[in-house]
């Protein structure tokens, strides 16, 4: 049995906390909202984020960081990327020095261009850490459905040890030492899911969506490569795998947000679409490296209100014709 603390009581944090509590660990879920944490502890349900899932009775919940972290052996950071800097600064002094940090956010800090591991490690430089990412809807994991993800750490030995610890019967972790690849895939697939959703929402059809996903994946690979990612990682669960999942279903908040934008309707009910925050900085990082990323570019312009979905489509279709083998 491990002492596990999950920081962030949204959909994904609650799902992971539930997964590890069901697997027999001593798990504490930490959230900033005291009333919501008291309700989770009393009702074994997270009414705001996973209302239809009954949580294990053994799962504890608190808004007190000292209680949440005092015995932690493993600490999962499951917050939106834009919240990580502030939260890790506030919580760092409560985190035991030897605890394994597991970073679960899929996004890029839009001010600094940093990924989750770079943000959190600035405050907690001495702790061992890994990144967990891959195709995994919170509701599926909370229901105990079979799922496979990638766990990346600075050394393959640490990644294997962490994968062993973080795997359960139905939740399979594949080890990797490619942190850059895993983080790039997780962040960029969200932006591409916005684009795929817009194509569907605008009524452009499944063929257009397949073209966007495929050409978007070429952009993901080019930019990933510039970050030092290994091609195998980008072709794996945390890259292509998550891109397929996120572009396939309105269960994805990013895809659903894109569909809404395409239809011109408001979806402010969607709790978090990370791609909205990552798009601008992803396009900028590509531009700074002279990497061709026209889909990331048009998504960032649409979100900034500078062009319409129709104008974006016209821009993409008007690009010069190329040999495919030279442009992947």
Q: Which residues are part of the catalytic machinery?
A: 189
3-state secondary structure the chain: CCEEEEECCCHHHHHHHHHHHHCCCEEEEECCCHHHHHHHHHHCCECCCECCCCCCCCCEEECCHHHHHCCCCEEEECCCHHHHHHHHHHHHHHCCCCCEEEECCCCECCCCCCEHHHHHHHHCCCCCEEEEECCCCHHHHHCCCCEEEEEECCCHHHHHHHHHHHCCCCEEEEEECCHHHHHHHHHHHHHHHHHHHHHHHCCCCHHHHHHHHHHHHHHHHHHHHHCCCCHHHHCCHHHHHHHHHHCCCCCCHHHHHHHHHHHCCCCCCCCCCHHHHHHHHHHHHHHHCCCCCHHHHHHHHHHCCCCCHHHHHHHHHCCCCCCHHHCC
Give the β-pairing of 147-152 and 171-176: parallel
Q: Which is nearer to ligand 13P, 150 or 246 (CB)?
A: 246
Structure tokens at 323: 């040999």
CA distance 116 to 99: 17
**Per CB under 6 A, 106 contacts ligand 13P:** yes
Would you state the structure tokens that stand for residue 190, as one six-digit string?
């969200």
159 is in an annotated binding site: no
- Asked if 185 is part of the footprint of ligand NDP (rule: CB under 6 A), the reply reads no
Q: Is 275 in the site for ligand NDP (CB under 6 A)?
A: no
Residue number, nearest CB to ligand NDP: 10
Is 254 labeled as ligand-binding?
yes
**Rounded CA gap, 256 and 253, in Å?**
5
Asked if 280 is part of the footprint of ligand NDP (rule: CB under 6 A), the reply reads no
User: What is the per-residue binding string for ligand NDP in 10-49, x denoting contact by CB under 6 A?
Assistant: xxxx-----------------xxx---------------x
Is residue 106 marked as binding? yes
Angle between helices 294-303 and 206-226 (to 10 degrees): 110
Q: Is 104 in the site for ligand NDP (CB under 6 A)?
A: yes
Residue 252 annotated in ligand binding: yes
* Contact with ligand 13P (CB under 6 A) among 55, 116, 195, 245: 245
Q: Does 142 bind ligand NDP (CB under 6 A)?
A: no
Q: Provide the minimum distance between the beta carbon of 17 and ligand 13P in the complex, in angstroms, as a whole number.
A: 17
Identify any residues that bridge with 33 across adjacent strands, giving them in sequence order: none
- Would you say 148 or 161 has its CB closer to ligand 13P? 148
Segment lying near ligand 13P (by CB under 6 A), choices 16-24, 70-78, 95-103, 132-140: 132-140
| Among ligand NDP, ligand 13P, none, residue 80 binds (CB under 5-8 Å by kind) | ligand NDP
Task: Select from ligand NDP, ligand 13P, none the partner in contact with residue 32, using the beta carbon and a kind-dependent cut-off of 5 to 8 Å.
Answer: ligand NDP
Report what 245 binds from ligand NDP, ligand 13P, none; CB cut-off 5-8 Å by kind.
ligand 13P
Total site size for ligand NDP, rule CB under 6 A: 27
Q: Is 106 in the site for ligand NDP (CB under 6 A)?
A: yes
Residue numbers in the known binding site for sn-glycerol 3-phosphate are 106, 134, 136, 189, 242, 252-254
Can you give the binding site for ligand NDP, defined by CB under 6 A?
Answer: 8-13, 31-33, 49, 78-81, 83, 86-87, 104-107, 136-138, 271-272, 274
Can you give the binding site for ligand 13P, defined by CB under 6 A?
Answer: 106, 135-137, 190, 193, 242, 245-246, 252-254, 274
Residue numbers in the known binding site for NADPH are 12, 32, 49, 106, 138, 253, 274
């Amino acid at each position: 049995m491990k002492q596990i603390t999950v920081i962030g009581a949204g959909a994904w944090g609650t799902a992971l906390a539930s997964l590890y509590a069901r697997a027999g660990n001593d798990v504490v879920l930490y959230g900033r909202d005291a009333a919501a944490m008291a309700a989770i502890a009393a009702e074994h349900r997270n009414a705001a984020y996973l209302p239809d899932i009954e949580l294990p009775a053994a799962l504890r919940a608190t808004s007190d960081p000292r209680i949440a972290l005092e015995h932690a052996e493993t600490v999962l950071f499951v917050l939106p990327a834009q919240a990580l800097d502030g939260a890790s600064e506030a919580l760092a002094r409560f985190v035991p020095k030897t605890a394994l940090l597991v970073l679960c956010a899929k996004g890029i800090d839009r001010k600094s261009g940093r990924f989750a591991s770079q943000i959190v490690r600035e405050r907690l430089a001495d702790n061992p850490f890994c990144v967990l990412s891959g195709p995994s809807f919170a509701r599926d994991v909370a229901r105990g459905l079979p799922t496979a993800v990638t766990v990346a750490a600075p050394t393959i030995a640490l990644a294997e040890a962490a994968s062993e610890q973080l795997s359960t019967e139905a939740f399979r972790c594949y080890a990797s030492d490619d942190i850059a690849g895993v983080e790039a895939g997780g962040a960029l697939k969200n932006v591409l899911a916005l684009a795929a959703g817009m194509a569907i929402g605008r009524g452009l059809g499944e063929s257009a969506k397949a073209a966007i996903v495929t050409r978007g994946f070429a952009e993901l690979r080019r930019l990933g490569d510039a970050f030092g990612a290994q091609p195998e990682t980008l072709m794996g669960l945390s890259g292509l795998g998550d891109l397929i999942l996120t572009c396939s279903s309105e269960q994805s908040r990013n895809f659903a947000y894109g569909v809404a934008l395409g239809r011109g309707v408001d979806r402010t009910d969607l709790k978090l679409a990370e791609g909205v925050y990552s798009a601008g900085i992803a396009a900028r990082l590509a531009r700074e490296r002279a990497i061709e990323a026209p889909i990331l570019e048009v998504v960032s312009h649409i979100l900034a209100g500078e062009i319409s979905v129709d104008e974006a489509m016209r821009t993409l279709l008007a690009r010069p014709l190329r040999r495919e083998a030279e442009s992947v």
